Amino acid sequence: MIKNEKQYRIIKGKLKKFNQALDLIKKADNNGIHPLLIKAQIDSIESQIEEFKHDISEYENLKTGKVTRFITSIDDLSKGIINSRIARGYNHEELGRKLGVSAQQIQKYEAENYLNTSLKKLVEIISILDVDAETEFNLEEKNIHPEVHFLIPDGYNAELIQNKITNRGTTVEICI
Protein backbone atom coordinates (compact mmCIF):
# COMPACT_ATOMS: atom_id res chain seq x y z
CA MET A 1 0.00 0.00 0.00
CA ILE A 2 1.31 3.41 -0.98
CA LYS A 3 0.77 5.91 1.83
CA ASN A 4 2.32 9.13 0.47
CA GLU A 5 3.87 10.89 -2.54
CA LYS A 6 7.40 9.80 -1.65
CA GLN A 7 6.39 6.13 -1.62
CA TYR A 8 4.46 6.71 -4.85
CA ARG A 9 7.59 8.03 -6.61
CA ILE A 10 9.71 5.19 -5.21
CA ILE A 11 7.26 2.49 -6.36
CA LYS A 12 6.99 4.05 -9.82
CA GLY A 13 10.80 3.94 -10.03
CA LYS A 14 10.86 0.33 -8.89
CA LEU A 15 8.20 -0.57 -11.46
CA LYS A 16 10.37 0.87 -14.21
CA LYS A 17 13.42 -1.09 -12.99
CA PHE A 18 11.47 -4.35 -12.71
CA ASN A 19 10.11 -3.91 -16.23
CA GLN A 20 13.67 -3.36 -17.48
CA ALA A 21 14.87 -6.45 -15.62
CA LEU A 22 12.05 -8.50 -17.11
CA ASP A 23 12.97 -7.34 -20.61
CA LEU A 24 16.61 -8.28 -20.00
CA ILE A 25 15.74 -11.75 -18.78
CA LYS A 26 13.43 -12.38 -21.72
CA LYS A 27 16.08 -11.21 -24.21
CA ALA A 28 19.06 -12.88 -22.50
CA ASP A 29 20.82 -15.95 -23.79
CA ASN A 30 19.60 -18.45 -21.21
CA ASN A 31 21.44 -21.48 -22.56
CA GLY A 32 22.54 -23.75 -19.77
CA ILE A 33 19.88 -22.51 -17.36
CA HIS A 34 17.01 -24.87 -16.68
CA PRO A 35 13.79 -23.54 -18.28
CA LEU A 36 11.89 -23.93 -15.00
CA LEU A 37 14.36 -21.62 -13.25
CA ILE A 38 13.92 -19.02 -15.96
CA LYS A 39 10.14 -19.36 -15.78
CA ALA A 40 10.19 -19.04 -11.99
CA GLN A 41 12.29 -15.90 -12.22
CA ILE A 42 10.02 -14.37 -14.87
CA ASP A 43 6.88 -15.31 -12.90
CA SER A 44 8.32 -13.77 -9.76
CA ILE A 45 9.17 -10.50 -11.48
CA GLU A 46 5.80 -10.37 -13.24
CA SER A 47 4.05 -10.94 -9.93
CA GLN A 48 5.95 -8.05 -8.34
CA ILE A 49 5.18 -5.83 -11.35
CA GLU A 50 1.46 -6.58 -10.97
CA GLU A 51 1.62 -5.73 -7.27
CA PHE A 52 3.35 -2.42 -8.05
CA LYS A 53 0.75 -1.64 -10.75
CA HIS A 54 -2.09 -2.42 -8.34
CA ASP A 55 -0.64 -0.20 -5.61
CA ILE A 56 0.00 2.65 -8.07
CA SER A 57 -3.49 2.39 -9.54
CA GLU A 58 -5.09 2.31 -6.08
CA TYR A 59 -3.14 5.40 -4.99
CA GLU A 60 -3.88 7.31 -8.22
CA ASN A 61 -7.59 6.44 -8.02
CA LEU A 62 -7.71 7.72 -4.45
CA LYS A 63 -5.84 10.92 -5.33
CA THR A 64 -8.06 11.71 -8.32
CA GLY A 65 -11.33 11.05 -6.52
CA LYS A 66 -12.28 7.99 -8.57
CA VAL A 67 -12.77 6.04 -5.34
CA THR A 68 -15.49 7.34 -3.05
CA ARG A 69 -16.30 4.21 -1.05
CA PHE A 70 -14.31 1.22 0.10
CA ILE A 71 -14.97 -1.54 2.56
CA THR A 72 -12.37 -2.75 5.01
CA SER A 73 -12.42 -5.06 7.99
CA ILE A 74 -11.73 -3.88 11.52
CA ASP A 75 -8.42 -5.75 11.24
CA ASP A 76 -7.46 -3.36 8.47
CA LEU A 77 -8.99 -0.16 9.83
CA SER A 78 -5.70 1.65 9.25
CA LYS A 79 -6.00 1.12 5.50
CA GLY A 80 -9.42 2.78 5.54
CA ILE A 81 -8.07 5.78 7.45
CA ILE A 82 -5.01 6.12 5.22
CA ASN A 83 -7.09 5.74 2.05
CA SER A 84 -9.49 8.39 3.35
CA ARG A 85 -6.61 10.78 4.05
CA ILE A 86 -5.25 10.30 0.54
CA ALA A 87 -8.70 10.60 -1.07
CA ARG A 88 -9.33 13.84 0.84
CA GLY A 89 -6.04 15.19 -0.50
CA TYR A 90 -4.40 15.59 2.90
CA ASN A 91 -0.70 14.94 3.34
CA HIS A 92 0.73 14.14 6.78
CA GLU A 93 1.34 17.79 7.57
CA GLU A 94 -2.21 18.91 6.70
CA LEU A 95 -3.87 16.14 8.70
CA GLY A 96 -1.51 16.75 11.60
CA ARG A 97 -2.31 20.46 11.62
CA LYS A 98 -6.07 19.77 11.68
CA LEU A 99 -5.55 17.21 14.44
CA GLY A 100 -3.17 19.42 16.42
CA VAL A 101 -0.18 17.09 16.12
CA SER A 102 2.98 17.05 14.02
CA ALA A 103 3.31 15.48 10.58
CA GLN A 104 5.78 13.08 12.18
CA GLN A 105 3.08 11.92 14.59
CA ILE A 106 0.75 11.14 11.68
CA GLN A 107 3.60 9.25 9.99
CA LYS A 108 4.14 7.31 13.21
CA TYR A 109 0.44 6.45 13.47
CA GLU A 110 0.51 5.17 9.90
CA ALA A 111 3.81 3.30 10.31
CA GLU A 112 2.22 1.48 13.26
CA ASN A 113 -1.03 1.04 11.28
CA TYR A 114 -2.81 3.01 14.01
CA LEU A 115 -2.46 0.03 16.39
CA ASN A 116 -1.20 2.17 19.28
CA THR A 117 -3.69 5.00 18.69
CA SER A 118 -6.54 5.47 21.14
CA LEU A 119 -10.11 4.94 20.02
CA LYS A 120 -10.82 8.56 20.93
CA LYS A 121 -8.03 9.73 18.59
CA LEU A 122 -9.24 7.41 15.80
CA VAL A 123 -12.76 8.84 16.07
CA GLU A 124 -11.30 12.37 15.94
CA ILE A 125 -9.23 11.53 12.83
CA ILE A 126 -12.24 9.94 11.10
CA SER A 127 -14.27 13.05 11.94
CA ILE A 128 -11.60 15.37 10.51
CA LEU A 129 -11.48 13.27 7.35
CA ASP A 130 -15.28 13.75 7.14
CA VAL A 131 -16.00 10.15 6.23
CA ASP A 132 -18.99 8.03 7.06
CA ALA A 133 -17.34 5.03 8.70
CA GLU A 134 -19.67 2.14 9.37
CA THR A 135 -19.02 -0.76 11.68
CA GLU A 136 -20.68 -4.14 11.40
CA PHE A 137 -20.42 -6.83 14.02
CA ASN A 138 -21.06 -10.22 12.44
CA LEU A 139 -21.80 -12.87 15.03
CA GLU A 140 -21.55 -15.77 12.59
CA GLU A 141 -18.69 -18.16 13.25
CA LYS A 142 -15.55 -17.33 11.30
CA ASN A 143 -14.38 -19.89 8.73
CA ILE A 144 -11.53 -21.51 10.64
CA HIS A 145 -10.36 -23.61 7.69
CA PRO A 146 -10.48 -21.48 4.55
CA GLU A 147 -10.61 -23.16 1.17
CA VAL A 148 -7.17 -23.73 -0.36
CA HIS A 149 -6.29 -24.04 -4.06
CA PHE A 150 -2.95 -25.22 -5.40
CA LEU A 151 -1.36 -27.15 -8.24
CA ILE A 152 0.18 -30.61 -7.86
CA PRO A 153 3.30 -31.18 -9.98
CA ASP A 154 3.30 -34.01 -12.51
CA GLY A 155 4.27 -37.37 -11.08
CA TYR A 156 2.64 -36.86 -7.68
CA ASN A 157 -0.43 -38.74 -6.50
CA ALA A 158 -2.98 -35.92 -6.32
CA GLU A 159 -5.70 -38.10 -4.77
CA LEU A 160 -3.42 -39.23 -1.93
CA ILE A 161 -2.35 -35.65 -1.20
CA GLN A 162 -5.95 -34.44 -1.29
CA ASN A 163 -7.04 -37.18 1.15
CA LYS A 164 -4.23 -36.36 3.60
CA ILE A 165 -5.06 -32.66 3.59
CA THR A 166 -8.83 -33.21 3.78
CA ASN A 167 -8.32 -35.51 6.78
CA ARG A 168 -6.72 -32.54 8.57
CA GLY A 169 -9.94 -30.53 8.24
CA THR A 170 -9.13 -28.25 5.30
CA THR A 171 -11.16 -28.11 2.10
CA VAL A 172 -8.86 -28.54 -0.89
CA GLU A 173 -9.37 -28.29 -4.61
CA ILE A 174 -6.65 -30.08 -6.57
CA CYS A 175 -5.90 -28.69 -10.03
CA ILE A 176 -3.97 -30.98 -12.36
Q: Are residues 30 and 58 part of one domain?
A: yes
- From its phi and psi, is residue 174 left (phi > 0), alpha (psi between -120 and 50) or beta? beta
Residue 172 lies in a domain: yes
Beta strands in the chain (DSSP E): 148-151, 172-175
Q: Are residues 59 and 10 part of one domain?
A: yes
Q: What is the DSSP letter of 153?
A: P
pLDDT of residue 32: 85
Residue 135 lies in a domain: no
Q: What are phi and psi of 156, to 5 degrees?
A: -100, 150
How far, in Å, CA of 168 to CA of 90, rounded?
Answer: 49
User: Rounded to 5, what percent of the chain is helix, strand, coil?
Assistant: 60, 5, 40
Residue 46 lies in a domain: yes
Please state, for a pLDDT cut of 70, what percent of the chain lies above it: 77
Residue 11 lies in a domain: yes
Round the average pLDDT of the chain to a whole number and report it.
85
Q: What is the pLDDT of residues 84-138, one digit of tens each?
A: 999 999 999 999 999 999 999 999 999 999 999 999 999 999 999 998 887 776 7
Q: What is the DSSP letter of 108?
A: H
Q: Are residues 93 and 58 part of one domain?
A: no
Domain that holds residue 90: 77-128
pLDDT of residue 164: 62
How far, in Å, CA of 110 to CA of 157, rounded?
Answer: 47
Residue 68 lies in a domain: no
- In terms of Cβ atoms closer than 10 Å to its own Cβ (0-12, 13-18, 19+), residue 58 is middle
Structural domain count, the chain: 3
Q: Are residues 84 and 55 part of one domain?
A: no
Residue 102 lies in a domain: yes
Q: Are residues 154 and 120 part of one domain?
A: no
How far, in Å, CA of 165 to CA of 148, rounded?
Answer: 10
